[in-house]
Amino acid sequence: MAVEVAKVSYAKPVSGLTVQMQQEFKQKAVELLQSLIRKKGKDPADFVIRDVLPKTDIGLTNEEWSHSFSAAYTEETYFTKTLDDDNFLVVYGYANNYPTPKTLYMKLVRGSVPIKIVHTQAIHLQEVPMAFFEPEGWMEGEKITVYVYGDSTGTDKPIPLSLFAEPKEETISP
């Protein structure tokens, strides 16, 4: 049995990528979603792939990526979600649109196993605070937890760039 271990992600800031390279990162995320759907014996053509809706898909309070840090220099749970039947999710990047970002890293966990840590401080220094990395995916029935580590208390807007797949006509019409 293979053991998963967390990998530090070498996130590529958008400022260093051509538009074509940015599209390739998103295309890899789409291809991973389609592969996960096929692994469950389903046809990707029966699914809609779209951006994650934070409230609808993972249970945040609003359809906005936002976290309020309750303590400085502490890892906190951003969200935890066990994916419903016929739901698939891929995370392929990080962004933060808050004027004074607090998030120092984002950790992605499958079940109880950390699989990727994205250090975000250098990303915040970019003119466009966004970066892409090799996508990680979750299938129906799997639990995703995202932790964030902040340098101070208060609100921040960390955005796990992510895609969601569900059967056609569940949330939106094809």
3-class DSSP assignment, residue 10? coil
Task: Give the CA angle between residues 5, 28, 45 to the nearest 5°.
Answer: 115
Residue 174: is its pLDDT beyond 50?
no
3-class DSSP assignment, residue 31? helix
Residue 153: is its pLDDT beyond 80?
yes
For the residues 22-43, what does the mean pLDDT come to?
Answer: 96
| Fold exhibited by the domain 7-167 | Jelly Rolls (2.60.120)
CB 130 within 8 A of CB 123: yes
**pLDDT value of residue 12:** 83
- % of the chain at pLDDT higher than 70: 92
170 confidence band (pLDDT: 50, 70, 90)? low
**pLDDT value of residue 10:** 72
Distance CA 1, CA 50 (A): 33
- % of the chain at pLDDT higher than 90: 80
CB 94 within 8 A of CB 159: yes
For all residues of the chain together, what is the average pLDDT? 92
pLDDT in tens, 88-116: 999 999 999 899 999 999 999 999 999 99
Task: Please list, in sequence order, all residues whose beta carbon lies within 8 angstroms of the beta carbon of residue 38, skipping any fewer than 6 positions away.
Answer: 44
Residue 63: how many other CB atoms lie within 10 Å: 11
**pLDDT value of residue 168:** 92
Domains of the chain, by residue range, sit at 7-167
C-alpha distance from residue 21 to each of 13, 27, 116 (Å): 11, 10, 21
Task: Please list, in sequence order, all residues whose beta carbon lies within 8 angstroms of the beta carbon of residue 19, skipping any fewer than 6 positions away.
Answer: none
Distance of CA 130 to the CA centre of its chain: 12
For the question of whether the overall pTM of this predicted structure is more than 0.85, the answer is: yes
130 confidence band (pLDDT: 50, 70, 90)? very high
Strands 143-150 and 74-82: antiparallel
Residue 3: is its pLDDT beyond 60?
no
**pLDDT value of residue 69:** 98
pLDDT in tens, 33-81: 999 999 999 999 999 999 999 999 999 999 999 999 999 999 999 999 9
